């Protein structure tokens, strides 16, 4: 097959980084709409420069003052997008950053709204992300903390010692995404059966085709159910 007209070889189309070709990444579909030659490029990771605006600079200043010389190694990048502040933190410094955000009088993020996981298969070396939403009741402010780890080493320090309510949240994130929270008091599945294979909210998890037993009733896989068409 000739590669002369392959999307990568078209004038003006950068070779890298390319996320996928075609509308949905489907090949050999017989599509004549022209979408088969679409090139979807990976967007660069966002990073915002100062001033961040509003109270965001005060949060950054407060954390930098609390962390001292360690701040540069703790915070990998800062993103301000759609009126929200996200601190991307190196995983080895996560508990220290969380402690500073909770305890420093200039910050006082006393309340955590939970832990959630995200799976970015294309983010090589940082495929798994854990996201923490914090709220300062004292100062009426919000901040998001995000930390990543590679799929080959899915370990992130537990923050239960800082925010005890993260106990069940970290268990859920482990259950659905496979992130191992080191130091968690009892990191076990919380929704899926203990012997369940895989982590259902990862993007590489198979869709359908899995028989499910619920309270003694066997639910057939989607491709085996009765058709009402």
| Domains of the chain as residue ranges with CATH | 7-41 (no CATH), 56-182 (3.30.460.80)
Per-residue pLDDT at 130: 98
pLDDT at residue 135 is higher than 80: yes
Q: Is the pLDDT of residue 190 over 60?
A: yes
By CB neighbour count within 10 A (0-12 exposed, 13-18 middle, 19+ buried), where does 99 fall?
Answer: middle
Give the mean pLDDT of 138-163: 98
User: Could you give the CA distance from residue 39 to residue 16 in angstroms, rounded to a whole number?
Assistant: 11
Interval 13-20 mean pLDDT: 62
Nearest Cα neighbor of 117 from 187, 20, 58, 200 is 200
- Strand, coil or helix: 7: helix
Query: What is the structure's pLDDT at 141?
Result: 97
How confident is the model at residue 160, as a pLDDT?
A: 98
- Omega cis (within 30) before 17: yes
Is the pLDDT at 210 greater than 70? The verdict is no
Higher pLDDT, 147 or 217: 147
* pLDDT tens readout for residues 22-39: 665 555 555 555 566 677
Cα-Cα-Cα-Cα dihedral sign, residues 119, 120, 124, 129? negative
Q: Which residues pair with 77 in a beta bridge?
A: 88
Has residue 18 got a pLDDT over 90?
Answer: no
Which residues, in sequence order, are CB contacts of 202 under 8 Å at separation 6+?
A: 119, 176, 177, 178
Phi, psi (rounded to 5 degrees) for 111: -115, 130
CA distances from 90 to 113, 125, 128 (A): 21, 13, 13
Q: What is the mean pLDDT of the chain?
A: 85
Does residue 27 sit in helix, strand or coil? coil
Percent of all residues in the chain with a pLDDT value above 70, rounded to a whole number: 74
The pLDDT value recorded for residue 202 is 93
15-53 CB burial, b ≥16 within 10 A, e <16:
eeeeeebbeeeeeeeeeeeeebeebeeeeeeeeeeeebe
Residue 223 has pLDDT above 80, yes or no: no
- Nearest alpha-carbon partner for 106 in 79, 132, 139, 133: 139
């Amino acid at each position: 097959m000739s590669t002369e007209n392959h999307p990568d070889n078209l004038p003006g189309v950068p070779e890298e980084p390319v996320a996928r070709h075609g509308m949905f990444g489907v090949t050999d579909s017989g599509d004549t709409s022209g979408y088969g030659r679409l090139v979807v490029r990976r967007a660069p990771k966002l990073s915002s420069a100062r001033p961040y605006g509003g109270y965001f600079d005060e949060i950054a200043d407060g954390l930098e003052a609390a962390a001292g010389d360690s701040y540069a190694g703790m915070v990998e990048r800062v993103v301000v997008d759609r009126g929200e502040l996200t601190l991307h933190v190196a995983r080895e410094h996560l508990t220290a950053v969380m402690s500073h955000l909770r305890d420093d009088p200039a910050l006082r993020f006393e309340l955590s709204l939970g832990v959630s996981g995200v799976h970015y298969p294309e983010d090589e070396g940082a495929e798994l992300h854990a996201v923490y939403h914090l709220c300062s009741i004292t100062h009426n402010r919000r901040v998001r903390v995000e930390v990543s780890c590679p799929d080959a080493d899915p370990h992130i320090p537990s923050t239960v010692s800082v925010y005890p309510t993260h106990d069940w949240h970290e268990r859920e994130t482990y259950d659905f995404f496979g992130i191992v929270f080191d130091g968690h008091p009892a990191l076990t599945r919380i929704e899926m059966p203990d012997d369940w294979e895989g982590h259902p909210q990862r993007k590489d998890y198979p869709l359908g085709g899995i028989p499910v037993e619920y309270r003694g009733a066997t639910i057939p896989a989607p491709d085996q159910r009765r058709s009402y068409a």
